[in-house]
Amino acid sequence: MYINGEWLELEKTFAVFNPTNGQQIGEVADGTQQHAASAIAAAGAALPDWSASTAYERSALLYRAHQMMMQRQRQLAELMTAEQGKPLKAAMNEVKYAADFLLWFAEEAKRIYGETIPSARSDQRFLVHKQAVGVVAAVTPWNYPISMLTRKIAPALAAGCSVVLKPAEATPLCAMAVFEILHEVGIPAGVANLVTAADPAPIGQEFCNNPTVRKLTFTGSTAVGKRLAQDAAPQLKRVSMELGGHAPFIVFDDADPVHAAKGVSLVKFLNTGQACISPNRIFVQRSIADTFIDTLQQRIEKMRAGDGMDPANSIGPLVNQSAVDKVERQVQDALAAGATLHSGGKRLLDNGLDQGFFYAPTLLSGVTPEMLIYREETFGPVAPVITFDNEDDVLAMANDTSYGLAAYIYTQNLSRAMRTFEGLQFGIIGINDINPTSAAAPFGGMKESGLGREGAREGIEEYLETKLGGFSI
């Protein structure tokens, strides 16, 4: 663990495994609730000086962290592939994306503006000032184990907050590598702290109950996010949540079905479907469904699963056995209820893949609302296709979920694109675009997919309080 500027070793540790082959690749300190409390105390002690530092000083440190992360891009990517399982090319892209947040918020640190407001009284002046919210507790997931860290740490540090991070227990090595960078660039002791633990519950409890923490930021499942928000509520802590998704991907009949199928194949199977913005329900207008399904099947059958270090492999492992079981349950339920299997539909066990958690890229058609896969987030490599007849029907089906993170539209009709964009109840929508994300763009969901936004200028506002001064002169 990294607390108050020092790396701490504990006698009690937990092992970290490669999901590709099940081999142990390291072990890390197994922290306790008391360690979380110590880290929070260190962050609280460091806060006054850090928040009083100039925006230019904070910016310079984030610039240096960006440069160092890019210098270590391949090293970090190889660690990510070993620890999380995604193909090396995807890991390289993620490190670049993670570094983008350091660069963006290095710039935004110098753009924390206040304002003056005219008063009705001639002897009064109003001054609006933005300042750091305080100590931030952050909890990050395993599926994007570096970019999700910088998406929270960078704006918090830029705003003048100090941070305590609890990374996912499956990917602590990536978090340690990021904190090595923060240490080497000279982030002051106590400003950024890392607590690793095999059991996240006591750490989360301390984050919610400790009054020194004034802001909680979490990325993960909706169920856990709701629990954390509930536990943080008695102290009225600021919370931001990036939670689950159940993204619709809508292909209208005026779109090129071949082009749309290629787009789906790229985004659906990115990170083996383990992304909160991954398309989970693929709605295709009936007249072009056959061409779309044929194209998607051809592309899926060319995908190869295996060790991400091999550039020929585009499908990595799922995170653990529970993830495999969930995918298997959804697929079998769909088939029992009448869905058609075009590709995949089974766990991969040949050629040494039985040592990891591999599931074949899968294509289903004939999916209906009664099936589990229509309602539940999959987080796996399964593409379920649902046909529709008209615009009103598909909009109602797409919005028929408690989630509201991401959605996708393929159409060449500008009016239809605008109507659907405005009608979809989702926070991020790609129109003929499978990658509607950037450090410069706000990321977040509606309904039960979260609270607040990350990235963009909105991202730093999540870590700032607004203070009003009324001056009598």
Domain ranges, ordered by start, for the chain: 2-243+447-472, 247-431
Q: 390: which DSSP letter?
A: S
- State the first-to-last Cα distance of the chain, in angstroms, to the nearest integer: 51
Contact 202, 36 (CB under 8 A): yes
Per-residue pLDDT tens digits for 156-211: 999 999 999 999 999 999 999 999 999 999 999 999 999 999 999 999 999 999 99
187 by Cβ neighbours in 10 Å (0-12 / 13-18 / 19+) ranks as buried
Reduce the DSSP state of residue 386 to 3 states and report it: strand
> What per-residue confidence (pLDDT) applies to 65?
98
Q: Which of 63, 137, 27, 149 is nearest to 98 (CA)?
A: 149
> What per-residue confidence (pLDDT) applies to 368?
96
Q: Which of 248, 232, 52 is nearest to 160 (CA)?
A: 52
SS3 content of the chain, % helix, strand, coil (to 5): 45, 20, 35
Taking the whole predicted model, whether its pTM rises above 0.85 is answered as yes
Reduce the DSSP state of residue 15 to 3 states and report it: strand
Report how far residue 320's alpha carbon sits from residue 357's, in angstroms, rounded to the nearest whole number. Answer: 6
Torsion (CA) 3, 24, 181, 183 in degrees, nearest 10: 20
> What per-residue confidence (pLDDT) applies to 144?
97
From 242, 448, 454, 462, the catalytic residue:
242
DSSP H or E run through 163: strand 162-166
Q: Is 161 a catalytic residue?
A: no
Beta bridge partners of 276: none
From 161, 174, 208, 276, the catalytic residue:
276
Reduce the DSSP state of residue 17 to 3 states and report it: strand
CATH 3.40.630.30 fits 247-431, yes or no: no
Question: Into which CATH architecture does domain 2-243+447-472 fall?
Answer: 3-Layer(aba) Sandwich (3.40)
Measured N-to-C along each axis, helices 55-71 and 147-159 cross at an angle, to the nearest 10 degrees, of: 160
Report how far residue 161's alpha carbon sits from residue 447's, in angstroms, rounded to the nearest whole number. Answer: 28
Cβ atoms within 10 A of the Cβ of 129, count? 14
Q: Which of 177, 187, 205 is nearest to 28 (CA)?
A: 177
Torsion (CA) 416, 421, 423, 425 in degrees, nearest 10: 150
Report how far residue 30's alpha carbon sits from residue 86's, in angstroms, rounded to the nearest whole number. Answer: 25
DSSP string, 454-465: BSHHHHHHTTEE
Q: Is 276 a catalytic residue?
A: yes
pLDDT tens digits in sequence order for the chain, 473 residues long: 999 999 999 999 999 999 999 999 999 999 999 999 999 999 999 999 999 999 999 999 999 999 999 999 999 999 999 999 999 999 999 999 999 999 999 999 999 999 999 999 999 999 999 999 999 999 999 999 999 999 999 999 999 999 999 999 999 999 999 999 999 999 999 999 999 999 999 999 999 999 999 999 999 999 999 999 999 999 999 999 999 999 999 999 999 999 999 999 999 999 999 999 999 999 999 999 999 999 999 999 999 999 999 999 999 999 999 999 999 999 999 999 999 999 999 999 998 999 999 999 999 999 999 999 999 999 999 999 999 999 999 999 999 999 999 999 999 999 999 999 999 999 999 999 999 999 999 999 999 999 999 999 999 999 999 999 999 99
